Amino acid sequence: MTASQFWPKAQIAELLLGKVPIVDVRAPIEFAEGALPGSTNLPILDNEQRAQVGTCYKQSGREAALKLGYELVSGDNKLKKIEAWSQFFRNHSSAIVTCFRGGLRSQIAQTWLGEIGIHKQRLEGGYKFGRNFLSEIIQTQSGKISLIVVSGATGAGKSLLLKEVSKTSNVIDLEGLAKHRGSAFGGFVHPQSTQIDFENQLGLRLLELQQTSANKIFIEDESRMIGKCAQPELLFNNLRSSPLVVIDEPIESRIETTFNEYILGSPVGKGISQDGLAIFASFQKSLFSISKRLGGLRYSEVKGDLLNSEKHYQDEFNLASNRIWIEKLLTYYYDPLYQKSLDKKSNSIIFKGNRQEVFEFLKNSTN
């Protein structure tokens, strides 16, 4: 095996920063737990086959496991896998191959592709090395980057503001990396990131920022947990001790922002459908999860409003009544929690204003 057949470990940063596509040939169950950014799963063994080979390895050793693996991936099965890989490489000419350690599975894929004239590198050290590299970036960078934290009550438009700021300044979008809005009602329509994928994406973002020598990095005020994803301790401690800017928007504006994001911006806003009904079911589930904090009477009140909104949606596609339960949820639940948290951080506040005023302040702070 010559050196040219590997993408070398020393150039892992160039691989990740260059957004080089990666064909990950691990089994789907492995890939689902975590993958390098830019990876596509085209497995050499499916989950059941992987389990069979693993059992064979434990019972009969490496050679027997290898023999079984080749038997499982043969004939039409092999041809289909090679065709899937070759199609991917035809569409992504710069792509490389990896498996867990950059060993046997990616080597086999590399060899089979070579036999049909497609010569691709495989990542030296594999996914494991890339994962360790990104974890090290988190350890070395999280505690020393210079942050300005954007806070504000629910519906103040923190994410919208940071999205606009990101066009000209450096931002870490924790909710985007976690694929979760960071609240009891914060699950996106698509599945949330696994903890490992969240960390891998965060490591890549920190690596990107390291290249810019960023003076200030803007980040949203978040709890340690963003849905099921936990911020690394060093980053969270940095966030908690950094200067704070606060968006102060009136309740009417916050209701509209929340309505636009959670109702109009979801399948509910696209018409009557099973997906829309599923969103209302998720709202009910989320509401129940905070029922103890709301108290019995307020929980029943908001639940009744939510059920009424669902009925209006089903019967006549009328969405306006959703503003009623949104307002109560903001004032009964989110605002007291926010104020309690903000009181603890009052000494860290360096600016407070409406969304436009905060935008101007952030823009000027990088000049």
Q: Is the whole model's pTM more than 0.95, yes or no? A: no
Instruction: Locate 104 and state its tokens.
Output: 């046997």
- Considering the domain 145-367 in this protein, what is its CATH number? 3.40.50
CATH superfamily of 3-135: Rhodanese-like domain (3.40.250.10)
CA distances from 353 to 212, 266, 357, 361, 362 (A): 29, 29, 5, 9, 11
Q: How many CA atoms lie within 13 A of 36 on its CB side?
A: 34
pLDDT digit string, tens, across residues 81-94: 999 999 999 999 99
Residue 1 is predicted with a pLDDT of 42
Beta strand pairing status for 22-24 and 147-152?
unpaired
Contact 32, 192 (CB under 8 A): no
pLDDT digit string, tens, across residues 243-271: 999 999 999 999 999 999 999 989 999 99
Note the Cα 223 to chain centre separation in Å. 16
| Confidence grade of residue 170 (pLDDT, cut at 50, 70, 90) | very high
Instruction: Locate 78 and state its tokens.
Output: 């092999």
Residue 190 is predicted with a pLDDT of 64
| 285-314 per-residue burial string, b: 16 or more CB within 10 A, e: under 16 | ebbeebeeebeeebbebbbebbeebbeebe
pLDDT at 318 over 70: yes
Q: Give SS3 for 319.
A: coil
pLDDT at 189 over 60: no
pLDDT digit string, tens, across residues 138-164: 999 999 999 999 999 999 999 999 999
Residues with a catalytic annotation lie at: 99
Q: Give SS3 for 231.
A: coil
Q: Within 10 A of 111 (CB to CB), how many other CB atoms are there?
A: 11
Residue 212 is predicted with a pLDDT of 87
Residue 191 is predicted with a pLDDT of 78
Extents of the domains making up the chain: 3-135, 145-367
pLDDT at 3 over 50: no
The pLDDT mean for the chain works out to 93
Please give the average per-residue pLDDT across 28-50, as a whole number.
Answer: 96
pLDDT at 9 over 80: yes
Please give the average per-residue pLDDT across 27-49, as a whole number.
Answer: 96
pLDDT at 2 over 60: no
Provide the percentage of residues in the chain whose pLDDT is more than 90. Answer: 87
Q: Is 218 exposed, middle or buried (0-12, 13-18, 19+ CB in 10 A)?
A: buried
Phi, psi of 246 (to 5 degrees): -120, 125
Contact 228, 335 (CB under 8 A): no
Q: Considering just the CA atoms, what is the radius of gyration of the chain in Å?
A: 25
Q: How far apart are CA 66 and CA 63, in angstroms?
A: 5
pLDDT digit string, tens, across residues 109-136: 999 999 999 999 999 999 999 999 999 9
Provide the percentage of residues in the chain whose pLDDT is more than 70. Answer: 96
